Amino acid sequence: MTTHWILGPGAIGRLLAHSLSPIAATTLVGRRNLPVLQRLTTMEGEARVQHLTSFTSIQLAVDAPEPPAFVHIATKAMSAEAALESIADSLPPSTPLVLWQNGFLAQPRITQAWPGPVLCATTTEGAYLTGDDGVVHAGRGHTFVGDLHNHHGALAEELAQTLTQAGLAATKVVDIRQRLWQKLAVNAAINPLVALNGVRNGELRGEAYAGRVEAVVKEVAAIMLAEGIAPPNDGNGEGAWLALVWQVVENTENNKASMLQDVEAKRPTERGAILGPLIESAQRHGLECEVLQALDDELAEVEASF
Ligand code: KPL
């Protein structure tokens, strides 16, 4: 049995742990211990209770269990590097990491800093927590796995097969950088606006917000072009990006986006991982980013008030 450590027992982390544990030795690693008996509510509405091992990073350092085959980092983007740091002394530096973050902040930094292989995963699986001992698998999606420099294709294939066997359909890809930026582009057009205005995704179609969505997409499309990120669905420039954004808004019209959930819970948002790389890229390429900068400033103000 291969061993997987899952750092960050949030919704995706616990969904991963529940899915992998019948086929692999799985350990959740967090800042505190969780109840040993954990409940997964499946897509079919079935409740499945499993015994999941959880450790704190301090316990890992003391107990020195056998090194894992994979370490999944499933924290929020802003916490990924600190989370890795907290267990780095318990890991051989050749250990493969799998990064599950949104945006494009942790991925390039950790890929550069970590001596072993670093895979990135982007997923459309939907899950939410129901307290310390429960997670609901709310939407079946697909996961794409690859590494930023395409040096670890065999490992990405092995992981994709393992995830698929665990019930989370996954595919190895050679364009994970493109996919991460595409997701970031969509997130940038939806998340800040809904978080700042306290509305569900579908409301962005209304008169009050649609123009602002278009203004964000205009800046984002120019940045994507400069970054060499192909427009979605073999489309053309700004129009293709806008069409994708409206498609996602429609598909997720009743969603409370993750950034809105963060603001409501007075948690730091992922603006640094979503707006940050876009603003940095715009500045590097001499492109306009006033709209993105204004959203980032407004979110910074909101966070400062927590
Ligand atoms: O991924 C999302 C999020 O909530 O972070 C979107 C696409 C905005 C859907 O809610």
Residue 205, pLDDT above cutoff 80? yes
User: From CA 259, how far away is CA 198, in angstroms rounded?
Assistant: 10
139, with CB counted inside 10 A (0-12, 13-18, 19+), is: middle
CB contact at 8 A, 27 and 4: yes
- How far, in Å, from the CA of 187 to the mean position of ligand 1? 6
Strands (E), the chain: 3-7, 25-30, 37-41, 47-51, 53-56, 70-73, 97-99, 118-123, 126-129, 134-139, 143-146, 170-172
Q: Determine contact, residues 56/50, Cβ cutoff 8 Å.
A: no
How far apart CA 38 and CA 21 sit, in angstroms, is 12
Distance 255 CA to ligand 1 centre (A): 8
What is the residue with the minimal CA distance to atom 9 of ligand 1?
257
Q: For residue 106, what is the enclosing H or E element?
A: helix 106-113
Residue 66's pLDDT band (boundaries 50, 70, 90)?
Answer: confident
- The one-letter amino acid code at 209 reads Y
Asked if residues 78 and 97 have their Cβ atoms less than 8 Å apart, the reply is no
Residues in the chain: 306
SS3 label, residue 51? strand
DSSP 8-state code for residue 92: -
The predicted-structure confidence for 12-60, as pLDDT tens digits, reads as follows 999 999 999 999 999 999 999 999 999 999 999 999 999 999 999 999 8
Mutational pocket test of ligand 1: of 245, 249, 258, 264, the residue with most ligand atoms within 8 Å of the beta carbon: 258
Q: How far is the CA of 184 from the centre of ligand 1 (A)?
A: 10
Instruction: For tokens 């997720």, name the residue.
Output: 252
Name the residue of 76, 124, 179, 191 to mutate for ligand 1: max ligand atoms within 8 A of Cβ. 191
pLDDT at position 187 over 90: yes
Would the pLDDT of 143 be above 80?
yes
Average pLDDT of the chain is: 96
Give me the pLDDT at residue 233, please: 87
Ligand 1 atom nearest to CA at 190: 8
For residue 125, the CA-to-ligand 1 centroid distance in Å is 11
Residue nearest to atom 7 of ligand 1 (CA): 187
Q: Which atom of ligand 1 is nearest to the CA of 260?
A: 4
CA distance 292 to 223: 11
- Residue 151 CA to ligand 1 centre (angstroms): 30
Angle between the 106-113 and 80-87 helix axes, to the nearest 10 degrees? 30
C-alpha span between 84 and 5 (Å, rounded): 11
Would you state the pLDDT for residue 104? 98
More reliable by pLDDT, 1 or 170: 170
* Strand bridging mode 143-146 / 118-123: antiparallel
Distance 25 CA to ligand 1 centre (A): 31
pLDDT score for 269: 97
Give the ligand 1 atom nearest the CA of 257. 4
Q: How far is CA 35 from the centre of its chain?
A: 25
* Residue 240 scores a pLDDT above 90: yes
pLDDT band at residue 63 using 50, 70 and 90 as cut-offs: confident
Domains contained in the chain, CATH given: 3-174 (3.40.50.720), 177-304 (1.10.1040.10)
Q: Which atom of ligand 1 is nearest to the CA of 248?
A: 7
**Residue 234 falls in which region: left (phi positive, over 0), alpha (psi -120 to 50) or beta:** left
Ligand 1 pocket at CB < 6 A: 186-187, 190-191, 201, 248, 252, 255, 257-258
Looking from the CA of residue 191, the nearest atom of ligand 1 is 8
Ligand 1 centre distance from Cα of residue 145 (Å): 19
Is pLDDT at 106 greater than 90 in this prediction? Answer: yes
Residue 117 Rama label (left phi>0; alpha psi -120 to 50; beta) = beta
Distance 24 CA to ligand 1 centre (A): 30
